[in-house]
Amino acid sequence: DTQEFSYVNQEAEDLLGHPLHQWTSQPGFWLDHVHPDDRALALSVCEDAASQHRPRQFEHRMFSADGEIFWLRTSIQLVTGPQQMKEIVGVMTDITSRKKALELAQEANLTKSALLSRIEALNAQLERENTRMSGELEVTRRLQRMMLPDGEDMRKVRHLEIAAFVESADEVGGDYYDVICEDGGVYLGIGDVTGHGLESGVIAIMAHTAIRTLLAAGLRESPKFFAVLNRVIYENARRMKSDRNLTLSLLHFEDHTVTVSGQHEEVLVVRRDGAVERHDTLNLGFHLGLTEDISNLIGETHFPLHTGDAMVVYTDGVTEAVSLAGVTFGIERLAQALRDSYQETAEGIRETVLAHLREHTGGQPLLDDVTLVVLKPI
């Protein structure tokens, strides 16, 4: 009834810092130092223990002498002492460490929940972005496929067999090739944009359109042709904030003579007797889109191509395809495939090369885009 303490042990002072005489000399001292949010609970439990004559236990906070908050688990019960004096006897146990650990765990759970919610939101956003990106990639891939010369177009080329193969390592490839009939001759373009994916595919489409436009406009002189083509790609790539560039060779076949300009992979020619020639293009040009002006870096080379001969152009996805042991296909294996098939049609040569390539790679997924074009006078 008086809310006075008759006894408190030394551990109370050691833990909370309040001198023992304050506990026993100041009515209401204990309840005054219980956390305000817990006082009603503490008083209610004490009253219930006294009126119902039953032990009770509860948890509450209490301020130390220096203002620090401690968590205590207090067990109390009513006892009758000498002269029928009724007192509440209790044991207070320090549970601060457990409570703090629990609070940290709860905070961690809240943080985890927040992170999980954030992850779910990001996953939903990623799924939407993937859907959008897949749509963009599909449109670009379809555009590329639509712009490729088909078998019917190539069969219209007089006195020439042309067979091609294109396969992308990604949804959208960075390889370029085209066959264009102009004034009795045939232009064959072959190129490779750095990387693959959407940006590379856009650059390849850009090159395809620009090349056909320049040829249709009558711009045939190699230095001027490549200077203009390079400037178009360079300026558009910068506008796209893209660092992609490409190697590209343009081959013109007319009157059994091939003129090659622009830098790309080697051009292979297999003669009617099975001999294989390698024509380097390293000094015939420069990467397009890498620098603003390449007009003084363009050269030409010429070689004959007669009935019974065959010419093969390709991208580095062919020669750099790797076996299960990590060995590249290489130019020598490509040359050997030509020696094995030079007497066949252009389509036969293409299939032989692809068979050699698949056997070498052991059916592994492509690491780069593969383009192969075979041209054979008839």
| pLDDT at residue number 155 | 66
CA-to-CA distance for 314 and 192, rounded, in angstroms?
A: 9
| pLDDT at residue number 143 | 61
Q: Contact 12/92 with Cβ under 8 angstroms?
A: yes
CA-to-CA distance for 28 and 33, rounded, in angstroms?
A: 9
Residue 58 to residues 13, 135, 378: CA-CA distances in angstroms? 21, 62, 101
| pLDDT at residue number 104 | 83
Instruction: Name the residue among 153, 198, 175 with its Cα closest to residue 315.
Output: 175
Q: Contact 169/361 with Cβ under 8 angstroms?
A: no
Q: What is the distance between the terminal CA atoms of the chain, rounded to a whole angstrom?
A: 119
Q: How many CB atoms lie within 10 A of CB 118?
A: 10
* Cα-trace Rg, the chain: 42
CA-to-CA distance for 284 and 305, rounded, in angstroms?
A: 19
Q: Taking the complete model, does pTM exceed 0.75, yes or no?
A: no
User: pLDDT tens track of the chain, all 378 residues?
Assistant: 777 888 999 999 999 999 999 999 988 899 999 999 999 999 999 988 888 888 999 999 999 999 999 999 999 999 887 777 788 899 999 999 988 888 888 887 877 777 777 777 777 777 777 666 666 556 556 665 666 676 666 666 778 899 999 887 665 567 888 998 877 789 999 999 987 777 888 888 889 889 999 998 988 899 999 999 999 999 999 988 888 999 999 999 999 999 999 999 999 999 999 999 999 999 999 999 999 999 999 999 999 999 999 999 999 999 999 999 989 999 999 999 999 999 999 999 999 999 999 999 997 877 778 999 999 998
Q: Contact 50/86 with Cβ under 8 angstroms?
A: yes
Tell how far CA 106 is from the center of its chain.
Answer: 35
Phi-psi region of 87 (alpha: psi -120 to 50; beta: other; left: phi over 0): beta
| pLDDT at residue number 105 | 81
Q: Contact 71/94 with Cβ under 8 angstroms?
A: yes
